[in-house]
Amino acid sequence: MKRLSDLDYLKLNKWQAFWYKFALFFCAIPSALWKGIKKIGGFFKNCGIAVKDEFVDIGSTFKRGNWAVKLSFFIFGFGNLFYGQVMRGILFLLFELVFIAYMVVPTGGIYWLSKGNWFQKGATIGTVQGGFQYNEVFDTDVWVPGDDSVKVMLYGLLTFIFIFAFIYTWRLQVKQCRICMDITAKGKKIRSGKDDVKSLLDDQFHKTLLALPLAGILAFTVLPIIYMVLVAFTSYDAAHDGYSNLFSWVGLDHFNELFNFSQGGLGLTFGEILSWTLMWAFFATFTNYFLGMFVAIMINKKGIKIKKFWRTVLVMTIAIPQFVSLLYVSKLFTTSGLIGRVLEQIPFIHNWRVANNFVSLWDSPTVARILLIVINIWIGIPYIMLMATGILMNIPQDLYESAKIDGASSVQQLTKITLPYMLFVTGPYLLTSFVGNLNNFNVIYLLSGGNPIKGTAGGASVGHTDLLITWLFKMTLGSTESKYYMASIIGILVFLVVAVLSLIVYNVIPSTRNEEDYK
Amino acid sequence: MKKQNDNKIRKTGLGARASRRISNTIIYIVLIIITIVWLFPFVGILLESFKTETNMQTPYLFPKEFGFDHYVKLFTKTDFLKWFGNTAIMGVATAVLQTIFILSMSYVLSRLRFKGRKALMNMMLILGMFPGFLTMILIYKVFADAHLIEEMAPLGLIIVYCASSAMGYYVSKGFFDTIPKSLDEAARVDGATRFQVFYKVIMPLSKPIVIYTILMGFMAPWGDFVLASYLIHENSQGMNVAVGMYEWLSRTNMNTHYTMFCAAGVIVAIPVVAVFLALQKYYVEGVTGGAVKG
């Protein structure tokens, strides 16, 4: 699209200017995506360069190194011990011994790796299928356990991670030995074990502080997510739970199932749920945002008394656990609930309900969706109100004073100063809140539970108000028909939607805020 | 001419006051309506909990006769006390551990500069885009082997809540970012180690954010339904309040447990609301600060 010069832009009237900006935003999307992709490409290129440098460095270390450094290529920490860093040397050596021991013991690393049939399409994960066999002692068939695919995959994955850690440590200690050699050659002193421990509270303080949180994230987020991504390429479901039936690698077959739009495929259901999810996130975010801002402006207007009271009333919805308030509110709108009864008295609603055979308001797809958005306003306004209050107090008062002197009415002050300022400051928040609403499990699941039911898909019942995230939840919790692989695939797709959205928004909206600016 | 002008000014002055009065009245009316709408469900829960009927087929809000039947039944006939205890334990443990995790992470990312810091932040941003509870597929399997489910679910849940909690470092990092860096530098020049800077300079200044983090940690288990429902698996001894009470409103139980649900809801709300309102100031600081600074 042609960019207008500043002079031409100022000539446009309000609507033209609005459309111009609107068009500009959408025209910027492809280039923003391209920029993002280029950034990712650049990242991989840098990774490649870093790996190449590492190899060059390792080669030169081996060439240049004395016999102790050369030997530490095979015996971990030998160089450290040679140069007097006893503590590091022993730790490295211990790591190597543990690694080798783990790999070669009967049910160790090599055992698990050999069981996995890794990424061979059609092959089972685990090689021995459990089954009933005749047992002479009991004179009946008893269950003889075979491999458990879940465990094979988990331990295999752990072994892979351990191998990577091994390679990394090997590289680390080789480098350290070389550095020790260089320092000694220069005639300087090498850090002792005592120095190392001391530095953990000083130069290396970040390592001390990060140890626990990072270990937690690695074990409970990174590992399960990698596992989950792998599950998307297997046939892991309730019938093939790994223990009673091994599951196998299926490649991209299940992705095809999801994008199959013909009869029996999940494509249509998926498309419907995705579009409702996006619709929901859009309305939930913007209704809350604007209404919340107006409530904040009203409460903070000069001359309004007992501000604290109004604020506390709203904050009550945050304080009371959502499952109590949401479950209660959802029951209020049923036919026997208080509000449901009152609405029933209105002939229009009553006739409409009876004509369509709806038992309660929650049974109509459209009404249920509208109810959700309305009740979500009740939940969401307080957060925005609090946030907007904080921002309102930060707006420089002299802006208003000079506006008043120039004769601006209070409406003009609102549209020309307050709203633009708020929009500017809370731009990034809108994105976070949009993403949060895409995955807003609590509100949907506790209010409507995804009902009214539309049918079954992916081993779970699907309703008209189900978001991707609640559909996914039902897929993993349903007892006999759970399709874990489908849940994983949808999880990956949710990730992709969120990632692409964030990529666009971060690149289109010029981020004026630099992290270091605050200091 | 001059007189006319004066008149005009007076007139507009009066008009402004009058219009302000009108707009303020409108605002008051809107605010009162908002108050009624916002408080209605809470008053409703409170009133219904005192009804002596058990079902929800009662077309009136105020109880015909007040009774504490449900409260008595709650503690004598159901496992509610157990659930409440479980949740309270989880709340306290999560508050403590989560605070340690989040503060460490956010302090490091805000104040210390080291290799891989940006990569770490990007990694956590990307990990945060995955639907979190998908990790439960694996965690459930592992915890089942370690006997951390059903009766022992509270322990398992504490681990789940806390382990990855450092990924929610954004708000407190925003707070640490606002503390002037010159303070650190002055202390460093005086010979303090980084640990001493953290412990003696930054921590005393960080009371608001510490309280905010504790508050968030304490409240999380009270409202959690998703993660808890995975690990608890319908074992009444290991339930938290959310999972336990969810069953009471299922289609089969609703007619016998509806008002009991309200009574339980009141009891659950009391400690949380008390803690929350007492620490509201810090919560507001956290929300506003975190949103503005990203």
pLDDT, tens digit (0-9, with 9 covering 90-100), for A11-56: 777 788 888 877 887 887 888 788 888 888 998 999 999 999 988 9
- Beta-bridge partners for A453: A463
pLDDT above 50 for B11: no
The verdict on a CB contact (< 8 Å) between B269 and A324 is yes
* Amino acid B15: pLDDT: 67
The verdict on a CB contact (< 8 Å) between B38 and A316 is yes
Q: Chain B residue closest to A198 (CA)? A: B193
Confidence of residue B32 (pLDDT cuts 50, 70, 90): very high
CB of B255 within 8 Å of a chain A CB? The answer is no
A336 vs B contacts (CB less than 8 Å): 56-57
A342-368 pLDDT, tens per residue? 888 888 888 888 887 787 888 888 889
The verdict on a CB contact (< 8 Å) between B242 and A442 is no
A473 vs B contacts (CB less than 8 Å): 133, 226
Q: Of A29-38, A43-52, A408-417, B142-151, where does the model show the most confidence?
A: A43-52
The minimal CB distance from A228 to the residues B30, B135, B167 is found for: B135
Return left, alpha or beta for A450; rule: phi > 0 is left, psi -120 to 50 is alpha, else beta.
Answer: left
B45 vs A contacts (CB less than 8 Å): 324-325, 328
B131 vs A contacts (CB less than 8 Å): 439, 469, 472, 491, 494-495
Alpha-carbon distances, residue A88 vs A82, A83, A84, A177, B242 (angstroms) = 11, 11, 9, 11, 49
Interface test with A, best of B87, B129, B134 (most A CBs within 10 A): B134
CB of A222 within 8 Å of a chain B CB? The answer is yes
CB of A410 within 8 Å of a chain B CB? The answer is yes
pLDDT, chain B, mean: 84
Does residue B285 fall inside a structural domain? yes
Interface test with A, best of B36, B110, B123, B137 (most A CBs within 10 A): B137
Closest CA to A466 of B92, A458, B222: A458
ipTM of predicted assembly, 2 dp = 0.86
| Number of residues assigned to chain A | 519
Is the previous residue joined to A382 through a cis bond, with omega within 30 degrees of 0?
A: no
Q: Are A324 and B265 in contact (CB under 8 A)?
A: yes
Amino acid symbol at B57: Q
Q: Whole domain around residue B98: which residue ranges?
A: 75-293
Per-position b or e across A449-480, b if 16+ CB within 10 A of its CB: bbbbebeebbbbbbbbbbbbbbbbbbbbebee
How many angstroms from the chain centroid is the CA of residue A75? 41
Q: Are A242 and A125 in contact (CB under 8 A)?
A: yes
List strand residue ranges (DSSP E) for A126-190, in order. 131-135, 140-144
Distance from the Cα of A6 to chain B's closest Cα (Å) equals 30
The verdict on a CB contact (< 8 Å) between B104 and A321 is no
Average pLDDT over residues A130-146: 83
Does residue B272 fall inside a structural domain? yes
Distance from the Cα of A39 to chain B's closest Cα (Å) equals 13
pLDDT above 60 for A200: yes
Q: What is the DSSP letter of A417?
A: I
Give the Cβ contact number of residue A128 at 10 Å.
13
* Amino acid B57: pLDDT: 67
Q: Chain A residue closest to B42 (CA)? A: A325
How many residue pairs bridge chain A and chain B with CB atoms within 8 Å of each other?
A: 251
pLDDT above 70 for B289: no
The verdict on a CB contact (< 8 Å) between B225 and A488 is no
Does residue B194 fall inside a structural domain? yes
Sorted by sequence, the CB contacts under 8 Å of residue A211 that are 6+ apart come out as: none
The verdict on a CB contact (< 8 Å) between A217 and B241 is no
CA distance A267 to B154: 39
Percent residues over pLDDT 90 in chain A:
19
B287 vs A contacts (CB less than 8 Å): 383, 386-387, 390
CB of A95 within 8 Å of a chain B CB? The answer is no
Q: What is the DSSP letter of B235?
A: -
Q: Domain containing B149 — which CATH number?
A: 1.10.3720.10
* Amino acid A509: pLDDT: 62
The minimal CB distance from A472 to the residues B131, B167, B280 is found for: B131
CB of A296 within 8 Å of a chain B CB? The answer is no
pLDDT above 70 for A211: yes
The verdict on a CB contact (< 8 Å) between A426 and B226 is no
Does residue B58 fall inside a structural domain? no
Residue A453: phi and psi, rounded to 5, are -75, 140
| Residue where the block lists tokens 């903070």 | A300
pTM of the model: 0.84
Sorted by sequence, the CB contacts under 8 Å of residue B27 that are 6+ apart come out as: A298, A301, A304
Tally the domains of chain B: 1
pLDDT above 50 for A513: no
Does residue B93 fall inside a structural domain? yes
The verdict on a CB contact (< 8 Å) between B268 and A441 is no
Amino acid symbol at B194: R
CA distance B94 to B36: 34
Closest CA to A222 of B108, B167, B231, B110: B167
The verdict on a CB contact (< 8 Å) between B44 and A220 is no
Q: Are B103 and B213 in contact (CB under 8 A)?
A: yes
Q: Which residue has the higher pLDDT, B110 or A414?
A: B110
* Amino acid A508: pLDDT: 66
CB of A220 within 8 Å of a chain B CB? The answer is yes
From chain A residues 307-366, the ones with a CB under 8 A of any chain B CB are 310, 312-325, 327-329, 331-332, 334, 336-338, 341
Reported as type and span, the H/E element at residue A463 is strand A460-463
The minimal CB distance from A321 to the residues B137, B269, B287 is found for: B269
CB of B262 within 8 Å of a chain A CB? The answer is yes
Q: Which residue has the higher pLDDT, A518 or A405?
A: A405
pLDDT, chain A, mean: 85
pLDDT above 70 for A425: yes
CB of B147 within 8 Å of a chain A CB? The answer is no
CB of A244 within 8 Å of a chain B CB? The answer is no
Interface test with B, best of A220, A394, A447 (most B CBs within 10 A): A220
Does residue B28 fall inside a structural domain? no
- Rounding to the nearest 10 degrees, give the CA dihedral for residues A197, A198, A201, A203: -100
pLDDT above 60 for A512: no
**Does residue A364 sit in helix, strand or coil?**
coil
CA distance A152 to B241: 36
Handedness of CA B39, B41, B44, B48 (dihedral sign): negative
Helix A484-508 vs helix A419-438: angle between axes, to the nearest 10 degrees?
A: 160
Q: In chain B, what is the straight-line distance between the N-terminal and C-terminal CA atoms, in Å?
A: 57
| Number of residues assigned to chain B | 294
pLDDT above 50 for B293: no
* Amino acid A518: pLDDT: 38
Q: Chain B residue closest to A213 (CA)? A: B101
Average pLDDT over residues A382-398: 83
Question: For B129, what's the count of Cα atoms within 13 Å in the CB-facing half-sphere?
Answer: 18
Q: Chain A residue closest to B140 (CA)? A: A224
Distance from the Cα of A140 to chain B's closest Cα (Å) equals 28
